[in-house]
Amino acid sequence: MYISRTLSNHARGINNRIMKFNTKVIHGGQIKEKGYGAVMPPIYQTSTYVQSEPGVHQGYEYSRTQNPTRHALENSIASLENAKYGLAFSSGLSAIDAILKLFKPGDEIISTHDLYGGSYRLFNKIYKKYGLKFIFEDLKNLEKVEKLITSKTKLVWVETPTNPMINVIDIAAISEICKKNKILLGVDNTFSTPYLQRPLDLGADIVMHSGTKYLAGHSDVIIGLIALNDEKIAENLFFIQNSSGAICGPMDAFLTLRGIKTLHVRMDRHCSNGEKVFEFLNQCKKVDKIYWPGLESHPNHLVAKRQMKKFGGMISFTFVNNMYSDVVNFTKKLKVFTLAESLGGVESLVNHPATMTHASMPKKDRERNGITESLIRLSVGIEDSIDLVNDLDKAIN
């Protein structure tokens, strides 16, 4: 019924670059289900598959190795990122974990200095002890990147926009540096999604998502995704995926596929609501700094304009006087925004990075990166923007 997942077959499911993005979210990489004509890929809740003779089967042997529902999702993300290969994992962090397993002790990785606290923890608390070396730097400064490269550098890891400081990194410029030095470039595209930005088209080698966020889009699943074009690296990642086994279950793959079908519509609303929330915060006397790529004074506003379709729905800001008590008062008064970790769901969330998503980052590193006591991160949802602005207005003023 389904093609088996050899690499060449994997690529075959991904129907072409001719489709427009808004069609690909619904059909990209999908194969018609022939059994009963189901329009959605069924949830193949099975661990194993019958073999008519030893080694003779219909392309699926065991669900750690391959599962048709997961396969449909893997083809979908490959299609959206203009990639040949897609892989799905049990979480965003397990996708990053699989990428790190491509490297060996002694290899050096240069990473954005402000990034999701869990990625920072994975790098520093786990992989450092296995001999990988991480260098954290402000990758907006391209000269610095060049200077940090040594003969041992194997990967540049970029989050853009970054979590939580919403820094924008020039993917095409970093890719040029990486190519010149024969180094891989990996991009965590979680905040942008392929609707706003497609890193592989800009020269990156590997793109990764916490699919938990905008792709699944409904705060009901934890999932990670990778897309790439290089066959050899894809082979290695499939090997790691099967060997380490951090795969997503079929139900989670199904929910993510369902979420992806409305990605373009949701993202447009996240972006337009983001703009309205920004306009409100921008005239608030109690608000000090605002971090959003659409702000003309944002340090890489022009890069964002070039590499992103729109500016996204993630906004961080601080209060004047930088008091933690202002954060507590503010979050307690909110009625529509919910205080919770995560982002990218239909509902608006508010997060205090210093005590929540970035608590695992040492205080001195947090402060160096601008994650102050009063820094607040908003994930602007797709509710009515009037209610969102009123909610913020009442809580701030």
Which residues are catalytically annotated?
64, 116, 188, 213
User: For residue 188, which phi and psi values (nearest 5 degrees)?
Assistant: -85, 105
Spell out the residues 6+ positions from residue 349 whose beta carbon is closer than 8 angstroms to its own.
Answer: 337, 338, 339, 340, 341, 342, 343, 378, 379, 381
118 binds ligand P1T (CB under 6 A): yes
Closer to ligand P1T by CB, 30 or 316: give it.
316
User: Among candidates 137, 154, 143, 37, which has minimal Cα distance to 103?
Assistant: 154
CA pair distance 310, 270, nearest whole angstrom = 10
Tokens of 380: 């602007």
β-pairing, 224-228 vs 184-188, is unpaired
Q: Does 66 bind ligand P1T (CB under 6 A)?
A: no
Q: For the CB of residue 95, give the shortest distance to ligand P1T in the complex, in Å.
A: 8
Instruction: Tell me which of 188, 205, 252, 326 binds ligand P1T, using CB under 6 A.
Output: 188
In the chain, % helix, strand, coil (3-state, to 5) comes to 40, 15, 45
The 8-class DSSP code of residue 318 comes to: E
- What CA–CA distance (Å, rounded) separates 86 from 78? 5
- Among 67, 75, 82, 91, interactor with ligand P1T by CB under 6 A: 91
Please state, as a whole number, how many other Cβ atoms lie within 10 Å of the Cβ of residue 393.
11
Q: Tell which positions 357-396 bind ligand P1T, by CB under 6 A.
A: 357
Contacting ligand P1T (CB under 6 A), which of 212, 300, 316, 348? 212
Interface with ligand P1T, residue 116, by CB under 6 A: yes
Query: Helical H runs in 285-384?
Result: 301-307, 324-333, 363-368
Interface with ligand P1T (CB under 6 A), residue from 81, 159, 275, 326? 159
Q: Contact region for ligand P1T (CB under 6 A) — 46-54, 86-94, 103-111, 277-285? A: 86-94
Number of shown-chain residues binding ligand P1T (CB under 6 A): 19
Give the CA distances from residue 238 to residues 138, 205, 341, in Å, rounded to whole numbers and listed in that order.
31, 16, 30
Which of 13, 29, 68, 92 forms a contact with ligand P1T (CB under 6 A)? Answer: 92
Beta carbon of residue 358, minimum distance to ligand P1T (angstroms, whole number): 8
Residue 30 contacts ligand P1T per CB under 6 A: no
- Is 316 one of the binding residues for ligand P1T (CB under 6 A)? no
Minimum CB–partner distance for residue 344 and ligand P1T (Å): 8
What is the pattern of x (binds ligand P1T, CB under 6 A) and - over residues 318-347? -----------------------xxx----
Residue 163 binds to ligand P1T (criterion: CB under 6 A): yes
Question: By the 8 A CB rule, do 82 and 200 touch?
Answer: yes
Among 119, 192, 300, 385, binds ligand P1T (CB under 6 A): 119
Min dist CB 234 to ligand P1T, Å, is 21
What is the C-alpha radius of gyration for the chain, rounded to an integer number of angstroms?
Answer: 21
- Which of these ranges, 112-120, 249-257, 264-272, 324-332, lies near ligand P1T under the rule CB under 6 A? 112-120
CA distances from 297 to 289, 292, 321, 395 (A): 11, 10, 21, 26
What is the binding site for ligand P1T (CB under 6 A)? 91-93, 116, 118-119, 159, 163, 188, 190, 210, 212, 222, 224, 341-343, 351, 357
